[in-house]
Structure 1
């Protein structure tokens, strides 16, 4: 029997070859999420940045910024879709995240 790559492995390889940004989503202990989208070598690499922080409650908040060609974000447990939306509107030119000092 020959081992063939799974669909997920094949899709990941196609994504990487396509030049699309690499995306990492990890859990953090607050509870919440950390999102890192690598944009080096994409049309987004030289986009301007500015601060975007929303704090509604202790666990309902997010912060986005750019650091070394990476769109970074941290958010509350229920705010992941909002952070991904923030990336989309920044990528489409409506607004830019902050460069973290």
Structure 2
């Protein structure tokens, strides 16, 4: 896991920018981001990856269980980045998404 970069924009500012770069007049009509509360208590996050550079990219499921209310799970399912986390771990879950987007690149394909 990468250390926090004090000079980088906060995760909320970064997520807004990531979303804005996906919006091309079409993507936002079919895809998006959902952040909801769950009753255990905690958060559920779904970020659509379709028609983004991350579509179809591998992601290693991550789980951190520190206590009953401090936990984070992230995975990719059906071309969505998914996260479930405790009530105070939403920023951490989004940071894991940010790290993945910044370290994932496609291998160049054969030249035509």
Which of the five TM-score ranges fits, normalised by the shorter chain? 0.7 to 0.9
Gap regions ≥5 residues in structure 1: 1-11, 95-101
Q: Which has the higher strand share?
A: 1
**Divergent runs of 4+, >6 A:** none
- Quick check: 1:63–1:74 contact (8 Å CA) kept in 2? yes
Aligned to 1:57: 67
- Quick check: 2:64–2:73 contact (8 Å CA) kept in 1? yes
Shift in Å at residue 17 of structure 1? 2.4
Q: Which has the larger radius of gyration?
A: 1
Matched, 1:36 2:46: yes
> Match for 1:73 among 68, 74, 83?
83
Once residues 95 and 40 of structure 2 are traced to their aligned partners in structure 1, the CA distance between those partners, rounded to angstroms, is: 21
Once residues 19 and 44 of structure 1 are traced to their aligned partners in structure 2, the CA distance between those partners, rounded to angstroms, is: 14
How many pairs were matched up? 82
Gap regions ≥5 residues in structure 2: 1-19, 105-112
- Quick check: 1:28–1:34 contact (8 Å CA) kept in 2? yes
Shift in Å at residue 19 of structure 1? 3.5
When normalised by structure 1's length, the TM-score is 0.72
Q: Which has the higher helix share?
A: 2
